[in-house]
Amino acid sequence: MKNRIFADIIAEIINKSTMVLQGQPKWTFGKNTCNTYELFVSEFITPDGKSFPSWEVLQEVENDDELSVLFSRRLLWETARKTIEISNSTNTNMTLSLNMLPRFAESSEFISDVCSCLEQTGLQSKHLQFEISELQDLNENGCANLNTLHDEHGVLLAMGNFGTSQTNIPLLCKVHFDLIELARSIAEHVPEDDQTCRTIIGIQHMAHTLEMNICAKGIDTQDQFEFFEEIGTFKGQGSLIGNAMNMEELEDYVRHYGLHRGHD
């Protein structure tokens, strides 16, 4: 009973608070442009002005199926609206990259929820990318739902932090991913560690065989950037490219680096 009461409090925060969003760019190597941005919640502000950092809420969300769905659904709508707003103000076709908890993908209303959001916000399916979180496992129903969204509706799918926890080879065999993300801990050893560099190149070859792209996270130095660009990595993310920023800063970044409409 106590846990349920606490869950109800978290649900109230999710439903009625203002979600303060931040974003981080995912750079396209070789083109000097950036049209894909990861959006996430940095804090929740309740109607009475109380502020909760996102981690305090999300650590409860990740352990509760109902909260996972509730939070994921609201985050989708909030970030889709903001993506359209920034895209229109900058005359770009910004792609939203959104971390998604597998419990949401497994829900019976998942496909209709996503399609309804796309239709009502005006966000095109090709400009929505779900990053599958490694924090929860994904059952067969979730895999089928994701594949339907991908194959029939054109939503992009990314495997987050490949090789960690639940985002592994068995999942790669089940879901029609477009992109594999390398955890930031891998980039830490580039380009100094030869074994790490060889492993990354091997993963790149595997992705090519599977007709997928690679996004390298944790790019914090020029040497790391040049290594990933040289081996033909598709996208990169890290402090060298751009740290998490508020929506005004992100809009300025998109305006400067985003590919304007009519050119993508």
Averaged pLDDT for residues 233-238: 96
Banded model confidence at residue 48, pLDDT cuts 50, 70, 90: very high
For the chain, give the percent of residues with pLDDT over 90: 80
Q: Can you give the pLDDT at residue 3?
A: 60
CA distance 4 to 64: 10
Question: Which of 62-71, 158-167, 215-224, 228-237 is predicted with the least confidence, judged by mean pLDDT?
Answer: 158-167
Residue 167 has a pLDDT of 59
- Mean pLDDT of the residues in the chain: 92
Give the residue-averaged pLDDT of 104-123: 97
pLDDT at 4: 58
157-188 pLDDT per residue, tens: 999 888 666 557 888 889 999 999 998 888 89
Homologous superfamily of the 2-257 domain (CATH): EAL domain (3.20.20.450)
Region 83-97 average pLDDT: 97
Split at pLDDT 50, 70, 90, the class of 103 is very high
- What is the model's pLDDT at position 72? 96
Is the entire prediction scored with pTM above 0.85? yes
Specify the pLDDT at position 263: 55
Q: Could you tell me which residue, 228 or 132, shows the higher pLDDT?
A: 228
Is 239's pLDDT higher than 70? yes
Q: What is the pLDDT of residue 1?
A: 40
Q: DSSP letters along the chain, please? A: -HHHHHHHHHHHHHHHSEEEEEEEEEEETTTTEEEEEEEEEEEEE-TTS-EEEHHHHHHHHTT-HHHHHHHHHHHHHHHHHHHHHHHHHHTB-PEEEEEE-HHHHHSTTHHHHHHHHHHHH---GGGEEEEEPTTS---HHHHHHHHHHHHHH--EEEEEEETBTTBSHHHHTTS--SEEEEPHHHHTTTTT-HHHHHHHHHHHHHHHHTT-EEEEE---SHHHHHHHHHTT-SEEESTTT---EEHHHHHHHHHHHSPBTT--
Mean pLDDT of 134-163: 91
Average pLDDT over residues 106-126: 97
Per-residue pLDDT, averaged over 218-244, amounts to 96
Q: How confident is the model at residue 2 (pLDDT cuts 50, 70, 90)?
A: very low
